[in-house]
Amino acid sequence: MAEAIAAIDPVAVVRIDTPVPHLDRDFDYSVPARWSDLAVVGARVRVRFAGRLMDACIVRREPTSDLAVLKPIDRVVGTVPMCTPETLQLISATAHRYAGTLWDVMRTAVPPRDARAEAVLPEVSDWRSSSAVTESTWSGISHSAGLMKRIEGAEPVRAAWNSVPGTSWTEQVAELINQVTATESGSVLVLVPDVSDVERVCRAIPDACDAGAVAVIGAHVGPQARYAAFLRAMFGAARIVVGTRTAAFTPMPDLRLIVMWDDGDDVYADPHAPYWDAREVAALRSHLANCHLLVGGPARTVVVQQWCESGWATSLAPEKSVLAAVAPRVQAVEPDDFKKDEAAAYARIPSAAWQVAQTGLKAGPVLVQVARRGYVPLLACQKCRTPAECSCGGAFALVAGSSIPVCSRCGSLASSWRCSHCGGSDLRAMSVGVERTAEELGRAFPGVRIIWSQAEHMVREVSAEPALVVATPGAEPEAATGYEAVILLDAHWAGTGLGAGEAQVRRWFHAVALARPKAQVMVTAPINSATVQALVRWDSVWFAARELGERRVTGLPPASRVAALEGDATSVREVEQSIEVAHRTLGPVELGEEKVRLLVLVDRAHGTVLSEELMRISVRRSADKAAAKVNVQLDPREL
């Protein structure tokens, strides 16, 4: 006897959990009556497909199907759906933007199910913030008063703000949270780069944490705890979610505000296909959920500046009168000064920087930012050590089997390269060893306590006692009363790629923002460089606007959309030739192991068309077993 089928919407449209692109499409199954109540949109089900039981997700329930005979779903997994319809819409939009499959995004967006966490489902929270704001932490930011009023309204606000040096960004985030949660309804999502930032935000909202109104989402909390927090957010038991990259997809009822801090950090880019970026996911979610979005950081990124100049977001910057009272005093050490100072040329610690450190150590800790751990390979001018760049802005590098450097972006040879600074034509390979830096500083400051912080051994906080704190970018500890001085060594090692200057400004602003107001800052870089000028003026918005203008002229992202194709040369060229939308290419560049990388650029207005075409090409090649795999990455952060 055939099993009874659901009386209402008996057809479940599902997406199969498979990595094969040509199977990323809708399949119809019938819904047995016994599963009808649980087989909701977003539910995980088991279905028989190609003779095997496979996981699938219900994307719709329909009254009829075009197929005459349907297989029934085998069962519904768990009593709670994987995600809400709103989250499913966001996952689908993300997959579409990055030319990926629904399940490629689903695997990272939704934590693995834990049956124990589903045993007792959380109840909706009635907690409200009662934290009174005596003095706004936003008082030094332009248009902040209007911002707070608009956040209380229904019309979505999208804004970008830069923190005032010497102030606490977590207090600003806490004020935003309290503004929304002081009402009866409305939830807030806060995205931060890493676990230390999660802890900082939670410390800034102790009342909410004590009341259980905060859910922490991230890989660091463990599978069961992460899934339990996911359920608390989904059912409204937590009005506030604080988390890292994957928290961007957390289902939340009545989402009113998304706050993202330090969007320039590359940890927001997911390393798995389709390589979605949390910054773009936050923007997509703000659009789909019609909610507020505030993106902040010590420095403005070029992408967010593009949002502001397009009119989609509002720019909020520190007021000039406030900056005049607290901005750091920046001094640059020219490369030629190293030649005059023999000790500096050997130790990379110029006398002026040594004096700044000595003065600062009399009152408290001094921060020294150095290059990353190990070494950073770089080709530079033999005479003046200016990094060697191609006319397209890419960095030159040596590849296996070639004695002539090749541009890492467009593949041009460096045979006719000339230094823009001194006119030299000879190149040299250079590297920075940070372990050596610690030894040099120890000899230069005998008797001074030296604290070392890096990714493998992160120091979170230091006291107000005098100490020389040596840290790599992103590993700088917070000082109890702020640093007395900041020294930025190896400033000419900005790195390579399109966003090297932008990343340099972000690293500097992040470090200097930890200093006390009017602190002395020493940077070893030419004073006339744009990055140093941004630091001197404390105006990252100016630098971002300048970078964006240059990229518009050259047609580089974010003024355009770009797809990076990687694979064997023949297959990459086949994919490129299949793209019909008007485009131009940079490369190919050899990557080794008989693989190349080709960049395909289109006008920003045609970005959606490019994504759709690349997905169709991927589906077609997936169905052709003879076609070699070509990896596609849309809008990568590093070019």
Higher pLDDT pick, 182 / 490: 182
Same domain, 204 and 267: yes
pLDDT tens by residue, 270-300: 999 999 999 999 999 999 999 999 999 999 9
The answer to whether 380 touches 426, Cβ cutoff 8 Å, is no
Q: What is the mean pLDDT of residues 371-383?
A: 61
pLDDT tens by residue, 415-425: 778 887 777 88
Q: What is the mean pLDDT of residues 72-94?
A: 96
- Domain encompassing residue 171: 144-321
The answer to whether 555 touches 620, Cβ cutoff 8 Å, is no
Same domain, 27 and 51: yes
Please indicate, yes or no, if residue 269 is contained in any of the structural domains: yes
| Residue (of 296, 357, 370) closest to 515 by Cα position | 357
Same domain, 276 and 247: yes
Same domain, 308 and 200: yes
Maximum average pLDDT range among 163-167, 354-358, 603-607: 603-607
Q: What is the CATH number of the domain that holds 313?
A: 3.40.50.300
pLDDT of residue 163: 87
pLDDT of residue 432: 46
Same domain, 265 and 315: yes
Token pair listed for 293: 């979005």
Same domain, 562 and 584: yes
Q: Can you tell me whether residue 38 is helix, strand or coil?
A: coil
Please indicate, yes or no, if residue 104 is contained in any of the structural domains: no
Q: What is the mean pLDDT of residues 466-472?
A: 91
Residue 121 binned pLDDT confidence (cut-offs 50, 70, 90): confident
Q: What are the phi and psi torsion angles at 461 (to 5°)?
A: -140, 150
Same domain, 486 and 559: no
Q: What is the mean pLDDT of residues 115-141?
A: 81
Is the confidence at residue 399, as pLDDT, over 60? no
Please indicate, yes or no, if residue 57 is contained in any of the structural domains: yes
H or E stretch covering 470: strand 468-471
Q: What is the CATH number of the domain that holds 42?
A: 3.40.1440
Higher pLDDT pick, 141 / 85: 85
Of 128-132, 356-360, 396-400, 630-634, which range is least confident? 396-400
pLDDT of residue 402: 56
Q: What is the mean pLDDT of residues 243-250?
A: 96
Same domain, 332 and 314: no
Residue type, 575: V
Same domain, 396 and 507: yes
Is the confidence at residue 442, as pLDDT, over 90? no
pLDDT of residue 425: 80
Please indicate, yes or no, if residue 245 is contained in any of the structural domains: yes
Is the confidence at residue 492, as pLDDT, over 70? no
Q: Decide which of 30, 51, 82 is a domain's last residue.
A: 82
Please indicate, yes or no, if residue 1 is contained in any of the structural domains: no
Residue 345 binned pLDDT confidence (cut-offs 50, 70, 90): very low
Q: What are the phi and psi torsion angles at 151 (to 5°)?
A: -65, -30
C-alpha dihedral (136, 137, 140, 142), degrees to nearest 10: -70
Q: Decide which of 82, 111, 135 is a domain's last residue.
A: 82
Same domain, 288 and 419: no
Of 50-54, 318-322, 350-354, which range is least confident? 350-354
pLDDT of residue 376: 42
Is the confidence at residue 411, as pLDDT, over 90? no
Q: What is the CATH number of the domain that holds 603?
A: 3.30.70.2750
pLDDT tens by residue, 178-228: 999 998 889 999 999 999 999 999 999 999 999 999 999 988 888 889 999
Q: What is the mean pLDDT of residues 251-262?
A: 96
Cα separation of 233 and 237, whole Å? 6
Q: Can you tell me whether residue 361 is helix, strand or coil?
A: helix
Beta strands in 163-288 (DSSP E): 187-191, 214-217, 240-243, 255-261
Length of the chain, in residues: 639
Same domain, 314 and 340: no
pLDDT of residue 445: 83
Q: What is the mean pLDDT of residues 446-458?
A: 85
pLDDT of residue 375: 40
Domain count, the chain: 4
Is the confidence at residue 431, as pLDDT, over 60? no
Please count the other Cβ atoms lying within 10 Å of the Cβ belonging to residue 51. Answer: 5
Mean pLDDT of the chain: 88
pLDDT of residue 16: 97
Q: What is the model's pTM?
A: 0.88
Which residues lie closer than 8 Å to 608 by C-beta, 6 or more apart? 97
Same domain, 290 and 221: yes
Q: What are the phi and psi torsion angles at 578 (to 5°)?
A: -85, -10
pLDDT of residue 63: 96
Q: Can you tell me whether residue 106 is helix, strand or coil?
A: helix
pLDDT tens by residue, 548-595: 999 999 999 999 999 999 999 999 999 999 999 999 999 999 988 889
Q: What is the mean pLDDT of residues 472-490?
A: 90
Please indicate, yes or no, if residue 611 is contained in any of the structural domains: yes
Q: What is the mean pLDDT of residues 500-507?
A: 92
